[in-house]
Structure 1
Amino acid sequence: MAACNKINTDSPKLYIRIMGENSWGYNDEKGNSIIPLGKYKFLNLIDEKGMIYAQKGTKYGYIDIHENIVIPFEYDALGIFSEELAFAKKNNKYGYINRNGEIIIPTQFDNESYFQKTGLALVKKRNLQGFINKKGKEIIPIIYQNAHNTTFDSLVILCKNQKWAFYDSFGKQKTDFIYDEIALTDINLKGIEGDTFWKNGLILVRKNDQTGYLDKNLKEAIPFGKYDSGEKFNQNRIAIISKNHKYGIINEFGKEILKPEYDTLEHPEEDYHESEIFEGKNKNYITLLDKHGNKIYDKIKGYTFDFSRLGNTVKRVYIIRNLKNQCGVVDGEGKVIIPFIYDEIQDFNGTVNTIVKLKKKFGLVNSDNKIVYPIECESITTWKDLDYYIINKNNTVGIIDKNLKSILKFDYQDLSPCFYDKNRFIAKKDNKYGVIDRLGRTIIPFEYSEMSNWVEYGPGSNYHFVIKNNKNGLITKEGKIVIPAIYDSLFYNDDNTIILSKNGKYGVVTIHNKNVIPFEYEKIYSDLAFVPDRNANEFYVLKNGKYFIVDNKNKIIKANLSKKEVEDKFSYLN
């Protein structure tokens, strides 16, 4: 892990923060060690004054890039500087220091806190809260049950007797203690992430189980009870509201830009985060709305997020299934770029072409709705990190690249990219499997009736399980025989535990075909079946109709096991 900061000096230099095992350091731009690893448990980025927040052992301080101590390592906790002060903890109490390490506000508080642009910091004493200025003076007395300030506002809020009120940064009370809840909302201003009461629009407040909204002057902009519920205004200055169990959207002026008409209205999940668009649902259909609340497409059955190359740029598109179960593609403004005529449409994944299905046949169309490969194939397969399509046409399989040029001719019954190398393929020809490369050259001869590509608890990417003449074996990815295909069954448990059977007798070998348990048993089970990254040391074996346990040297550990006990234990393997 590395991060960079430039020091503002007459001769700027680039220093690179580095992380080792439980320690941090700095190198210069040529890789020379400036602050070696092993000395500091943590080092922060160099700040605008050339100071580095640091942890040494269990104590915290500040140094510069030359390891000069700016603030001694004598604190149990330290903050980064905000408004030129940083909190400092000693003897389980917090105070504030300046950049010279001088104590400006003595350690007396019970919490860590930062000074905001208002010049105030929220502090706690004896479970009560209030605000101080940078001289330590109580601007708002430390007598309240709870308090909040924000990154960007001049307002703060305090709680008394379970009710909230607004104060300004001079300590003047602006409202009565009448609110059950006052909402903060996230915002990004000029690249700085923070929170705010009103800079996204109106302030969401709740009172007596009713929802209302205030303007920045703390006047009611939307009366309490007009809506049954409401959400915070987002950075696009709109908010979801509900009335009579229906949901809509209002803007910062309180105008309904989307009337309450949906059973649910929410931001859908996209790539593991909440999208900015809205998804409205009614009993029989879905409506998509953009981040401003404008309809993208109405009355659909389902959709997926995607990106496609449109002209010279890659833009957001949506693959939509309408209420007639037909698929099409629309852009972010709702313009149809592929009409609703297909049974299926797969993701573009940022490219110009995509796979479509029509009347049980597959083909390729581009973002201009031009058919670029005929819709006459039994299947077409690709995925995001492949630069080709695998095409099954007239029951023969070939490969074309993303520019629609031929890679492998239609000479095969089946083709599948090797798990360990996407430019090698398990291929089927004349009912036999082998491995070929992208040029069609044979790497493993076509002599197997079955060949594995990937097994979850298998021997890794260097091997293939194979079947030849109804017998099981194991080969490398270069085709070298590891375990000859002469066995009636093969069960891989771990690299040292491959259970094989031949002519009705079971034994155990390693992945290198070294004998572990001789072939003298009627059945062998391992207690570690499907448990990866562990080695089997005990085996349940059946001989002459009796079960017992042996170790990996074939020495009996326990005899006279119940047949029912063993067969019930391993019933999932039978």
Structure 2
Amino acid sequence: MQSENRNIVLPRVLSLFPAPVRTVNGIEWGYINSKGRFIIKPQFSVVMDFQDNGFAIVSKEGKYGVINESGQFIVRPKYESIMPFSQGLAVVTTEKGYSVINEKGRIITQKAYKFIGDYENDFALVADTTEEYPYAYGYLNKRGRVAIPIQFKGATNFYEGVAVVQKEDDKFVLINQQGDILKEYDYPFVGEHTGSYLVFQQEEGGLYGYIEENGNVVISPQFQFAQPFQHDLAVVTVPNKGVGLIDSEGKFILKPKYSDIKVLDKKRYAVGRAINSEKPYLGSVYAVADANGQFLSEFIYYDITPYMNGFASANNKQETFFISKSGQIAEGLPVLKGVGSLHLEGDVVKAVIDDIVSYYTRDGKLLYRENMVITLNRQYAVKVRKFKPNTNYLVYYPQVQGMPNGTMERRVNEELKELSNVIDIKPDKQLEYSYEGDFSIQFFKKKLLVLKLFAYNYPFGAAHGMPSETYPHINLQTGQFHNLSDLFKEDSRYIEVLSDVIQTQIDTNSEYDYVFPDSYNGIRLDQPFYVNEKAVYIYFEPYEIAPYAAGFPTFRIPFKEIHDIINTSGSFWKSFH
């Protein structure tokens, strides 16, 4: 037995864990050890877990790089994004497109492509423009060279040496890693190869069924949706009935009467039942079932994650916990108040509960928790307060500390609560939306504190929600909330001046090509804005002058360009000068 196990490679247990700190500069991330102490100090805006190769992807000043466990950069932060390493290689992006780097940070591809997928089974999907297609697919090998020419209309990853690609409309083929065609399928859709049957459509827009690799139909088209087989079972949706689980003969292990089924591991499934059958977009409550269709729990769980290291994470809208393979709450592991997820890595439990990151020992001892007080200087601080009256309504709002007058401080803090949408919500009411709000320090100098209050309102079932941003400008000495007009001299016609500056930027700067034609008509008296040491920033809401994808169109106007109209003797200007 010893000789048989000698070459088994066990998964690497993490020794460093991402941890956030709220600071004057926003949330900064570093890495702590298993005792909750920072080994790599907080300095990054985005971090990922350390991978098995001992590297972690991080972001600093808007660019991505790679560090080792000493915090040293293996790849300097210079990329727009970096995907996790796979088979010793990582996909990176720049303004030119997608490339591949090795673990030394060297680019191994000969050019930038329109798309490159992660490496799987020694190959990566690659896409680029060809004469035939604006977006055609091929495959790269591990040397970064094109191994199978970029020629296909569509393509999937290799599995056990074969892959399904689309040559043209109604023509899919199975190829090997030399690009040889092994089988042709004359169907409008054939899904990826996952080691078992292939999902297919016999008619365009029709129902889904399954075929063998050789093209024989084994389960006739009858499903509205069909997932690939995993562990000899597949999740399918039957029209006008619901979601079920079938075996390789098409027999139902779980009848098609559920709202959702998720694969948790090869023998466990999360089976969902609609919270409100008349409003399925409100989501599902789940039970755990096994591969034989036997239920191991009642329908009492939400947000179940796949099993990892023997446990899944779930919550009951009040507490978050681990579930063992028995389908029941695991004994001897933390049960935490609030809604979120847990992840076990060795003897350390990572918790993200109500959007707050913390770490615990297996027996529930707190190792680290995200700070809830932001120190501005020796006098002032901002406390993070939580407001969660309902499971679908969560706001973290700011409360200022250290102002010279207690009454003034209470008034300021009441105004901040109102601006943060701390409102009356019934705890037992099923909301038709979710609302999440938080804040950060946008700018602080001398007596001026500029906060960024941001939120996201998502109506359940909608294509997307609506973000919001508000920037209160607080004079910490007087308690005044400054308006844009406070920055300028009386009779300065600042609205006209700023409007003209923005119009010029729209007309001359290609960065603003996304602005809808003729949509900009100048700024308003109550125009949203914020300042920093060198400029005023004027911004617009989504859809106001540009598409939703443009976010909040923002225009920077340096103070030196409008100095003649600034009221330099006013309380607003003096609060940070």
Bin of the TM-score, shorter chain as denominator length: 0.3 to 0.5
Compute the TM-score of the two structures, normalised by the length of structure 2: 0.41
More helix by share: 2
- Higher strand residue share: 1
| Rg larger for | 1
Structure of greater relative contact order (alpha carbons < 8 Å, 6+ residues apart): 2
